[in-house]
Structures are given as structure tokens and as C-alpha cells.
Structure 1
Amino acid sequence: MDNGFLSIKELCQRIDVKPHTLRYWEKEFGDFLKPCRSKGGHRRYGEEDLKVLLKIRELVKDRGYTIKGARKVLGSGEVNSREEENSLKEGNYFQGKKILITGGTGTVGREVTRRLLFLNPSVIRIYSRDETKQFDMSEEFKDVDNLRFFIGDVRDAERLEMAMEEVDIVFHLAALKHVASCEYNPFEAINTNVYGSQNVINAALKVNAEKVIFTSTDKAVNPTSTMGATKLMAEKLFTAANYYKGRRRTVFASVRLGNVLGSRGSVIPLFKNQLLNGKQITLTSKKMTRFIMSLRQAVDFIFKASFLARGGEVFVPKMPAVKIIDLVGAIEDVLGYKNGIKEIGVKPGEKLYEELMTRDEERRSLERDDMYIILPPKQLSNSRFSYPGAYISKGNNHYTSEKGEFLGKAGIKKFLQKESLI
């Protein structure tokens, strides 16, 4: 201790967490902490910081609050109802569970892993085919003793079953996700996104897993691309699996995400690199619109869906829509560069706008303030399930990124800065 201030190592010992957990809390709760710097430039923490971090530890690790829930309690100091208390404590659902993440070395998979690690699961198994990414990830989490790595492909049913032995929860993230790549390699897209998903379903049924959550995309709605079509087929497989599982406890559900800004392959790193290197920004079309969400929001939603899933649903978050031309303008303003825009034309399979659900899905969906819940066919009028805060959607809107209110350039700038995306 230096003049009453704690080093990172000392602080980790006092609050009994690993360094990677502290680093993550610094990122998520930074506005509640006020560390200072030593003469050597190292961060030091005072008694007030220690009190805040002990409270965070109590909320997140001991009481199972989500990050969002813990932030709300820290900000207001109180929770107003039992329903709100339960919604803020969805994180304790994972306590003591054995969890498998297919495609776990990807951007979303890593973030899911980071978040799970301080929700006290029994073990997290990372299943992916990229040896180098697994090595890099193992180095990042080298102080974690309940993280396991399995090299394998979802196309390999036998290997997948071995990795899934005794698992409770599966997050199926593995996929071929680039639209252009899938257009030129449709057989590979089918093998991974369709047959690979069926292998995940079969393995989960064989080990009697508790829940399996599939991450889909808004490109699965009225698809024009191979990637979107294969994701839609996988959604259908996950819904259908609930009907032939017999007496097994396994619940299958899907989440349909928008464009996750900050994930591998998203446009922000591309636009940023072009601007900083004095190049024109390449834009497929100035008319293009998209639904967007941050990596943090995507993982929040995946966890929320896994908590709510009863079987066969497709969960769709309510997301802001943006004009890509406004996104470009916001990035230019933040970085202070403006090199011009070059339209290169729409790529094969690409759409000018995205949709959240079809007309038919609207008629059998429930709605909450934060999401839509698309029920399996014929399930709406005779639903056995209930969801906190959900009501029958009016079904008189067509949810597309082409219509409605756009975030606008100022709103996008605020979003990018709030989510530390640029």
C-alpha cells in the first residue's frame, strides 16, 4: 500500500478477484471509480474505490446480478419491485453450470466468456477450429482455472459430442457469417451453418443439455443471401428440435441479432483504417440502412434470452436503425478526417435494408419494452409460457431498417462514444 492507496495486485487480493475480472470491471464501472496515478504512472485505488468494488463483487459474484443490474443498483441504491429484482439477477442462472461455447474464440464468444467468468459457472468450454485464436485466448485468460479449450469443428459430430459431455448450457456461435464469402462458397456455408447446427442439436439431446441458444441474424428475415438463408434454416432446426426431443429437458431457442459494431468484420474498423490512411471510404450504397447494436448489448441480449427461453422462440432485440452514410459522417466527425466517399455497388447477396421479422412472425409475436418474442407457429393463442412484461404485439407494423426513426449522425456519435467503439 502506497500512502493509503492500493496497487492492482493488492486490490485483487482485497476483493478476492482475478486481474482479468478487475480489468473488466474497470471498463464496465469506470464512471463509479476514481483511481489516481503513482509517480511511475501506475493506477492506484483509494478507500472509496475499494468500497465500490466490494459492492460490485457482492452484487455480481455473490448475488448474481448482471452488469446492467449492478450498475442500476450502484446508481440508485435501490430496487423497486420483485420482478425488477429478478430481471437484474438473471446472471445467477449460470452459477454452477457447465457451459460450452461453439465459436468461442470469435469476438462475441470472447465477450460471452469474459462475462460468464464472474457469474460463477462450474466450467466454460471453448469449442473452435482455430488453434492460433485458442492459444491467444488461453494467454489472455491464463489466470483462470475453470476455462477449457477444445479444438474441433461443428461439422464433426463425434468430436462435438465429446466436448459437450455433461454440459448444461450451450451457446452456439460458430458460423460462416460473411455474406460475400458464403455467396461464393454456398456448400461450405450449408455444411457449417445448417449441418453444423443440426450436429449441435443432436449432441445436446444426447447429453440431455438444459438449454441451447443459437445466435442468428436479421439477415435471416426474407433472405436474399446464402448466409441469411442458412441462418434461417438453422433457426427452423432449433425451433423444430423442441418438438422431437421427447422427455428430455433440453430447451432450444434462437436470438436474432443486428449488426454488432465492434465485432470482427464490422465496418467501423474498415472505415477507421481508411480514414487514418488518407483513403476514401468505400461504401456499397448511400441508400443502405442497418440495425445496430454494440458488443455489450449483444451479449446482454444473449444472456437475457437464455434466461427467458422456454422452447422454440426466436428472440429479437429492439435496436436503433441507422443510415450507413450517417455512420460514416459520425466516424469522420469523431476522428477529424474527411477523405470523401466512393460508392462501389451492392455486393452479391447484400440487401439495402434489413428486417427484424416477417409479416407472419409479427402475427405470432409477443412484445416487451426491450424485445420481440416470436413464438413457434400455432403457439400464440395457446401458449404454455409467460414472459415478464410481455404482451401480444399488435402486428400492424413492418419492422425494417428502411422505415421509422433513424438514430441520426449526432445520435450515432453518442452511441459510438458511449460504447467505446471509436
Structure 2
Amino acid sequence: MKYFITGGTGSLGKALVKKLLSKGNQVTVYSRDEGKQALLFGKEKKIKRIIGDIRDYDKLLVSMKRERPDVVVHTAALKRIDDMEFHPDECIKTNIHGSDNVAKASLLSDVKKCVLISTDKACQPVNVYGSSKFIAERLFTNHDFESCSTIFSSVRYGNVIASRGSFIPLWLGLLEKGQKISVTSTDMTRFLFTLNDAVDTVLGAVENCEGGEVFIPQISSYDMGTILKAVERIHGFVFDYDLIGLRPGEKLHEDMLAETELPFTYKVDNINLLCVRPQYTNRTHNSKWKKYTGPHFNSSLHVSENVEELVSLIKRGTMETR
């Protein structure tokens, strides 16, 4: 199968490329950073590399028409939450208009499936980044409503341990240098999982999507107090930290599945995924999945306080990014 991955030089994109190649798929990476492309994939002859920006619709369309992929996985985005609060115009150009470009180019290139990588921040958003991803999800659902061919879906996921820019490896790096770390709140909770789990979530969505859905992984969350204990266990020493309070656009607790989505939510068979089906669709969803009858997914409701479990998760996640 032929895959076209936007933003393929990020942590998720890189891991996704590796997994897809291991299964014998053909992969095209479309991203704007030629340096990262060369560094990550320069010696890999099985990967087609295209330098381009998702804001550039013409380049995107020509690239897809030339490659004729079966599946597009749209990972490209501006993701730094606090930065996006001060640059909402740039966030809109990439995360909303760019995502719309990807969807339209996919439709005109006869792509079979196009999957948007979204985030827990898109669920009941309170910041610019989350709001942009919420709109992108709705764009993909609407494109699916209008489509007679290409299937459009989205997949949300939480914080990936040891991905580029994530806070746990940042903390460990500072502690190794003898520097103090900054913590927003010990009461804060976050959904955490590993890069391989994130890849499996994406591929599970690709395999099971029938049109317009949002897929959600059922993963554990941890409060910062438990995370600090796990980091202390890994670091090997007791350390001090500064409490700095919430940053612009930050939530104390994250949402993965809203209460308003519960009536449309189903459990995907044989995989740890939930599926929120669209409220309006022209498609028939054939999968006979059971209705999800659990609570909404807020990180304060699914907290694990198992420090050893988290230590193991962090170590596994760190190994996966090497």
C-alpha cells in the first residue's frame, strides 16, 4: 500500500514511517524542513521525499497526483501551545487552512483514506492550538459528508512520552545538568502513552475508519505528583522544583472524549480504541461495534497512581525514540 505522510519528520511521523516500511508499504514524506528530511531519511532509498508546505495547495495537489497514494496521514501542524497563543494567525494558516488543503488535495487525487492527527486539546478546547485542531476535525468530518469516494477521519491522542519537546525528557536532561525544573501544578493531570502506542492508534484508525469518525485511544492519565515521583526514581536523587502556575492556554486537566460525544461513541472491536461517529453522514457505518457506556474521558477521572507502572512506561517510551 502507498502512504503519503505530511510532516513526516516529526516524532510521530518518523515512527510511523519506520512501522510502515517494516510492513512492506511504500512511503512518501511531505514536509518543509529539508535538513530534517536529509538527516532522518537521507540514506533510506525506500522513502520518497518531497519538500513542501501544506499551506501551498498547488504543490500539495501536484505531489499527491504524482504519487497517487492509497492513504494520507496528516501529521503536519504547529503544536507549541504557548507560542500559538501569541501567533494565532500562523496557527490558523497551518492547522486549519493547511488541513483543508490536505483534505481537498486528497479528494482530487482519488486517495482512499485521509486521516487527520488531532489531539486531546481539540476536545472542549480552551487555547488557540486546541481550537485549530477542533476546527480541523470538523473540516475532515464535513469533507467526508461531501465525499462520495475518499474516506476522511480523525484520531486524537495524548502526550507522547519522550517525543520531541515533551516535558519528561526535558526534565531529566535538566536534572542531569544539576539544574532546577519548573512545574506548573502538582494537581495537573495528563494522558500519557508511548510512541509505539501512538503509531498503533493511528494505524488502528486507518484500518477501521468508515467515514467522518474521530478515534480515541483508551489510555491512562497521571497527576504531576506521580510523574515527579517516577522521574525522581529514574533520576536516582531527590530534587527541588519551582511551581510556576499554568502557562497561557493551558488546562489543569485534559479532555479526550466529551460528555456531548457519548451518545455517538462506540468501542472498536479487538483494539483499545473508541470511535465517535459523525452526527451527520451520507455513509452507512457497517461495523457492529458495541455502544460505549463508560464515562467521558477527562484526565482527572482516569488517574493511575502506580509509580512503578509509570517508570516502566517512561523507560519504554524513551527506548522507542532512540
Describe the SS at the equivalent of 1:257. Answer: coil
**Cα RMSD (Å) of the superposition?**
1.7
Alpha-carbon displacement from aligned partner over 1:109-143 (angstroms, at most 9, x marks no partner): 0100001112112x31111111110110123xx1x
Query: Contact 1:279/1:339 (CA < 8 Å) preserved in 2?
Result: no
Alpha-carbon displacement from aligned partner over 1:346-405 (angstroms, at most 9, x marks no partner): 1000000001111111111112461210000156xx9832437x311226x232111244
C-alpha distance 98-333 of structure 1, shift in aligned 2 (>3 A): same
Describe the SS at the equivalent of 1:346. Answer: coil
> Which residue type is aligned with residue 126 of structure 2?
T
TM-score by length of 2: 0.94
Greater mean deviation of Cα atoms: 317-326 or 368-377: 368-377
Residue 363 (str. 1) matches residue 263 (str. 2): yes
Report the identity percentage: 35
Query: Contact 1:275/1:332 (CA < 8 Å) preserved in 2?
Result: no
> Which residue type is aligned with residue 116 of structure 2?
F
In 2: Cα distance, 1:416 partner to 1:202 partner: 38
Residue 391 (str. 1) matches residue 258 (str. 2): no
Q: 2:36 aligns with which of 122, 126, 133?
A: 133
Q: 2:131 aligns with which of 229, 235, 249?
A: 229
Residue 337 (str. 1) matches residue 237 (str. 2): yes
Describe the SS at the equivalent of 2:85. Answer: helix
Query: How do 1:239-388 residues align onto structure 2 when only pairs under 5 Å count?
Result: 239-245=141-147, 247=148, 249-368=149-268, 370-378=272-280, 384-387=284-287
Describe the SS at the equivalent of 1:356. Answer: strand
Q: 1:218 aligns with which of 117, 120, 131?
A: 120
Query: Contact 1:323/1:408 (CA < 8 Å) preserved in 2?
Result: no
Residue 207 (str. 1) matches residue 109 (str. 2): yes
Describe the SS at the equivalent of 2:35. Answer: helix
Q: Which has the larger radius of gyration?
A: 1
Query: Contact 1:194/1:230 (CA < 8 Å) preserved in 2?
Result: yes
C-alpha distance 346-421 of structure 1, shift in aligned 2 (>3 A): farther
Kindly state the Cα deviation for residue 420 of structure 1 after the two structures are TM-superposed: 4.0
> Which residue type is aligned with residue 258 of structure 1?
G
In 1: Cα distance, 2:193 partner to 2:186 partner: 20
Which residue does 2:46 correspond to in 1? 146
Greater mean deviation of Cα atoms: 124-133 or 405-414: 405-414
In 1: Cα distance, 2:309 partner to 2:81 partner: 27
> Which residue type is aligned with residue 73 of structure 2?
F
Describe the SS at the equivalent of 1:290. Answer: strand
Which residue does 1:109 correspond to in 2? 13
In 2: Cα distance, 1:407 partner to 1:183 partner: 32
Unaligned runs of 5+ in 2: none
Query: Contact 2:259/2:296 (CA < 8 Å) preserved in 1?
Result: yes
Query: Contact 2:30/2:52 (CA < 8 Å) preserved in 1?
Result: yes
Query: Contact 1:128/1:152 (CA < 8 Å) preserved in 2?
Result: yes
Unaligned runs of 5+ in 1: 1-96
Alpha-carbon displacement from aligned partner over 1:17-70 (angstroms, at most 9, x marks no partner): xxxxxxxxxxxxxxxxxxxxxxxxxxxxxxxxxxxxxxxxxxxxxxxxxxxxxx
Which residue does 1:197 correspond to in 2? 99
Residue 415 (str. 1) matches residue 318 (str. 2): no
Alpha-carbon displacement from aligned partner over 1:162-188 (angstroms, at most 9, x marks no partner): 221212110100000110111110000
> Which residue type is aligned with residue 113 of structure 1?
V
> Which residue type is aligned with residue 415 of structure 1?
L
Describe the SS at the equivalent of 1:243. Answer: helix
In 2: Cα distance, 1:108 partner to 1:151 partner: 18
